[in-house]
Chains A and B, each alone.
Chain A
Amino acid sequence: MAVEATTGAELVLTRRSFRSFMSDVFGPLLQVFLFVIGSAVVLGGIVILLAVALRGARTDIDLLQGTITILPQVIIDGMVRGFLYATIALGYTMVYGVLEFINFAHGEIFMVGAFTGAFFSAALAASGMLTTLNPVLFVIAAVLLGMAVSGLLAMSVERVAYRPLRGAPRLVPLISAIGVSLVLQDVMRMIAVNTGLGFNAQFRTPDLGQPLVLAQMPISDERTIPVSIDSRSLIFIVVAILMLIGLNYLVNITKLGKAIRAVAQDRPTASLMGIDVNRVIALTFLIGGALGGAAGILFGMRVGTINPYVGFLPGLKAFTAAVLGGIGNITGAMVGGIVLGFLEAFVASYLSLFTRGQFSGASYADIVAFSILILILVFRPSGLLGEVVTQKV
């Protein structure tokens, strides 16, 4: 969180200027957009080069044309994955910032968020309001509900399972967090199975509209295929961006944000300055959990069917994203999420194409994510945006 700490360090107590306000709130977002464009251009370039290089190897279809045809779809997919990982990674990174502790149960907080949405939609469907409800209203209500439930859950988990262990050796709270993760999975399964929602819960939504056609791609002389963005993906991206703006405002402008940054920088000193450290830590869990919950709702809405173990892999990958961006660094988590999402989307789509379906891209995408985690930790443990920190003795 070192980057934020420097921007907030000025001692000007008067009203901040409009310009510094804009740069604090939208600056990190600008960086995220640069990475979105950069990832798209770099990875797109790589696959096109690969396609040109491998063109002769495949005679049955035109590899280059195939590559270019699916490219816009892959970029959109990458953005959705990227924002998913970014929103979850924020929860990891904020908690790591204040406590230097990996909240292993964060993936399950995300899963609980998704289930909250499924319960909400099931309740609406039961009362017959689901089809008549305004879709915008539905999305807003579901996201707010998921944020509230997940945020409060994260806060209570901290109170019950982590706070008693503060000051214990590092592995002790981590093991406790693994326990919390398992308990949440099974408790949610128990609830879901016994309330009629079922193990594979349906996430029903009102009609969210047709896919938005962005352009027509020519594939041969006359025929074109539409480049479209699914309405649910669009909702995902828009809500995620709004949340990131909100978070930047909260962390960089408000007094609470200043307190969080102070606790992250130096907990004992922050406590001497009159900051209630326990309260700040609890609120950090609340904010991180709320972001995870909102991501869960959006994820559930997009995939349609969820189960209690759905949080594990996104959680692990979001942690990878947080490490990739430099753990503890809020902008880094967003950037890391975007980069990881793009990499995964490209591997998932192009590995099968380039190897004639010999390797299933979707399953090897997971391996790519973990390989990135290992490579980053070995060669640049501080991440893309992190600062090099020497370990204190």
Chain B
Amino acid sequence: MAADNRQVDQPPSFWALLRTTAGRGPAPYVLILAYAAIVSALLLFNPTTGLGTDMVVVLFLLLMFVIYRAPTMLAFKLTLGTILLAVVMPVFGVLNPFYIDVVTKAGMFAALALGLNVVVGFAGLLDLGYVAFFAVGAYLWGIFSTPQISNIVPGMEPLHGSWFWLFLAIGLAVGAFFGVLLGLPVLRLRGDYLAIVTLGLGEVIRVLATNLDRPINITNGAQGIKDIGRPPLFVEPVFQALGINISRVQEYQLYFYFLVLLVLALTVFVVHRLNNSRIGRAWTAIREDETAAIAMGIPLVRMKLLAFAVGASFAGTMGVIFSALQTFINPPTFDLLRSIGILSMVILGGMGSIPGTMLGAVIVTLLDLQLLPRIASELAALQRRGVPIPSWFDPAQYQRLLFGLLLIIMMIFRPEGLLPEDRRRQELHHDEPEPAPEPKTAAQVSESAQSAEG
């Protein structure tokens, strides 16, 4: 990068020049490999917990983004990405369990945010009660894998951990079922009403979870469900055969890390294929103009229900994983703030954009789980050394402030998100001169026509 600094005296051409020099031929391969090598070495040789390692982890995740955007061959991107995520990160995770936990959570929220992105981004339905479906999945596995089940079905024993795999699929189905169930009455509503009603439904699920300990104890009320079952570790003999000795806790951490990675990859694949299908085009048409979409013959309610069900089914599966990962769930885990947290990931990254949503999820999770507590502890350290920082100021306590400011600032200055989808950028900046030669209305018409024909 130092070589490029000389070009700063010609500001307009700086980025263009950087692109031409670093983006052609072997240059990007060399630069990315060097970047990957340095960051991996830093991670593997200094696995302490601290602000420095935080920065390196951020750089590591940024590397994923760089690989995604780099002008290189697809095979190179996939190989490097797989090596980094499947080898470097787990090894680092064994050395330092704190970070793999954060990365697993980030992956989980990325998958959740992708599900919400189907509803909010693709179909344009603002769903403020998304966490309800997450709660349904979590309680499903929570109830069936603990003695809680014998309260509902007398004589039934808690299910063994190996049922977990089946419950991933059941969570998907139950999530979709609840999506349709809750979606049916509300999908006739216009955008802003829908938002408030889904918010109300989310609250209803939380109130039910709190109060369904009477007359039959289903959810164990406000105390929540503890000791939720975990899938058996089938990898344990493999590790022992390889001579790797790590504790059970670490084995489970790696296990869930790979599980989340796998589910995330599947989610990205499914969402991507959906978006580029006939269904995805129908969703876009509904989002852009409902009336025109109906006129083009799109079955409005069916398509909206489908979007709701797809989003909800992802949340259901992630709920099952979440409850097994945490082994403890209670109603406050599924409050409105979490719905809004997931929404702010989608909005920060860019509604409708798959890489954007994942970027948003990673940024928000890192801010929430890593950066705010870290800033708080650094401030406390400074305070002990006599720097006048008021003792009440604890950044880790102000998530709402963070999410709120994020939402307002994004809406005012960049409503299309950090990595916007092209069509939405055009929609939100239609009054400015457009780089694309095709005007917005024509694009819309051809889009609707396509989905009607196809």
Question: Which residues in A have some Cβ–Cβ distance to B below 8 Å?
Answer: 101-102, 161, 164-165, 168-176, 178-187, 190, 193-194, 312, 316, 319-320, 323, 358-360, 363-364, 366-367, 369-371, 373-374, 377-378, 381, 391, 393
Contacts and interface: CB of A to CB of B under 8 A. Distances in A.
Contacts of A185: 400, 404
Given A182-B400, A183-B401, A378 B188 contact: yes
15 contacts: A161-B408, A169-B427, A174-B192, A178-B404, A182-B403, A183-B400, A183-B401, A190-B398, A358-B214, A367-B208, A370-B201, A373-B196, A377-B197, A391-B190, A391-B291
Closest 3 CB pairs of A and B: A179-B407, A182-B404, A183-B404
Interface of B: 124, 126, 128, 185-186, 188-193, 195-197, 199-201, 203-204, 207-208, 210-211, 214-215, 291, 336-337, 340, 343, 347, 390, 392, 398, 400-401, 403-408, 411-412, 415, 427-428
Contact of B408 (A170, A176, A193, A371): A176
B412 A164 contact: yes
B401 A186 contact: yes
Contacts of A184: 404
Contacts of B347: 175
B211 A183 contact: no
A360 B412 contact: no
Contacts of B196: 102, 316, 319, 373
A194 B340 contact: no
Q: Which of A171, A358, A369, A373 has the most CB of B within 10 A?
A: A171
A377 B390 CA distance: 49
A168 B408 contact: no
A179 B411 contact: yes
Contact of B199 (A172, A316, A391): A316
Contacts of A175: 126, 343, 347, 407, 411
A101 B191 CA distance: 11
B211 A377 contact: no
B210 A172 contact: no
Nearest to A101: B192
A384 B204 CA distance: 24
Contacts of B186: 374, 377-378
Nearest to A372: B200
A366 B203 contact: yes
Contacts of A165: 411-412
Nearest to B288: A169
Contact of A182 (B207, B211, B401): B401
B415 A172 contact: yes
B207 A374 contact: no
Contacts of B203: 316, 366, 370
Contact of B407 (A102, A176, A320, A381): A176
B189 A381 contact: yes
Nearest to A102: B192
Give the residue among B412, B427, B428 with the most A Cβ atoms within 10 A: B412
Contacts of B405: 179, 183
Given A165-B412, A182-B340, A316-B196, A393 B291 contact: yes
Most buried by B among A183, A184, A371: A183
Contact of A169 (B193, B392, B407, B428): B428
Contact of B204 (A169, A193, A358, A367): A367
A347 to B, nearest CB: 13
A377 B193 contact: yes
A178 B208 contact: no
Given A169-B427, A171-B192, A194-B390, A370 B412 contact: no
Q: Which of A176, A179, A183, A369 has the most CB of B within 10 A?
A: A179
B404 A186 contact: yes
Nearest to B337: A182
Contacts of B195: 102, 171, 174
B200 A193 contact: no
Given A171-B124, A320-B200, 4 more contacts: A171-B191, A176-B412, A194-B390, A359-B215
Contacts of B428: 168-169, 172
Given A168-B428, A194-B392, A180 B193 contact: no
Nearest to A174: B192
A366 B331 CA distance: 16
A185 B403 CA distance: 12
Nearest to B351: A171
B204 A179 contact: no
A358 B215 CA distance: 5
Contacts of A366: 203-204, 207
Contacts of B392: 190, 193-194
A377 B200 contact: no
A363 B126 CA distance: 26
A178 B407 contact: yes
Contacts of B412: 161, 164-165, 176
Contacts of B400: 182-183, 185-186
B191 A176 contact: no
Nearest to A313: B203
Given A169-B428, A359-B214, A366-B207, A374 B197 contact: yes
A176 B347 CA distance: 11
Nearest to A180: B408
Contact of A374 (B200, B343, B398, B401): B200
B429 to A, nearest CB: 10
A358 B217 CA distance: 11
Contacts of B337: 182
Contacts of A319: 196
A378 B407 CA distance: 30
A187 B411 CA distance: 20
Contact of B411 (A176, A181, A320, A370): A176
A101 B411 CA distance: 15
Nearest to B128: A178
Nearest to B291: A393
Contact of B211 (A190, A360, A378, A381): A360
